[in-house]
């Protein structure tokens, strides 16, 4: 059975969504909350992450389109172990700045709108449309 992992905010943002780990870290930087050393680390880490795994929008430009794919979010494949090693320092950064996050695991992330070797982008199941009778 395929399984997927996601690291995201433990609480919704102002739009009611749950940003992922990279968005949370980048949000700290854009809000000016990081120390100079942490901001420099984040820029280097983002460069490594961008070089390590593909941007889903390069292959599927509309995968995050809010009208077509409301609430679409990315999930790592459990087989992408090298990405968990890459993600750990981001989680440590969030912990240092007391940003609450959670790890989710599932075999059914939703309607998959993008898929590659290391991740999927999926639209979450909606209660009305997908609840089991």
Mind listing the pLDDT tens digit for each residue in 1-15?
Answer: 899 999 999 999 998
Among candidates 131, 113, 108, 133, which has minimal Cα distance to 123?
113
Q: Is the pLDDT of residue 132 over 70?
A: no
Q: Is the pLDDT of residue 133 over 90?
A: no
Global pTM exceeds 0.95 = no
Residues 6+ apart with CB under 8 A from 100: 9, 10, 11
The pLDDT of residue 130: 58
33-46: pLDDT as tens digits: 999 999 999 999 99
37-74: pLDDT as tens digits: 999 999 999 999 898 888 999 999 999 999 999 999 99
The pLDDT of residue 129: 61
Find the angle CA(14)-CA(16)-CA(22) to the nearest 5 degrees: 80
Give the tokens for residue 9: 């905010």
**Average pLDDT across the chain, whole number:** 93
Taking the C-alpha atoms of residue 112 and residue 72, their distance in angstroms, rounded to an integer, is 9
């Amino acid at each position: 059975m395929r399984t997927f992992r996601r690291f995201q905010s433990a609480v919704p943002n102002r739009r009611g969504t749950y940003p992922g780990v990279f968005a949370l870290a980048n949000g700290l930087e854009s809000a000016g909350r990081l120390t100079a050393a942490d901001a420099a680390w984040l820029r280097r880490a983002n460069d490594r992450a961008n070089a390590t795994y593909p941007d889903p929008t390069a292959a599927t430009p509309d995968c995050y389109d809010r009208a077509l794919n409301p609430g679409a979010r990315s999930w790592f494949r459990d087989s992408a172990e090298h990405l968990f090693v890459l993600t750990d320092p981001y989680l440590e950064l969030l912990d240092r700045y007391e940003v609450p996050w959670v790890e989710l695991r599932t075999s059914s992330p939703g309607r998959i709108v993008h898929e590659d070797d290391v991740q999927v982008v999926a639209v979450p199941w909606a209660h009305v449309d997908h609840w089991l009778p």
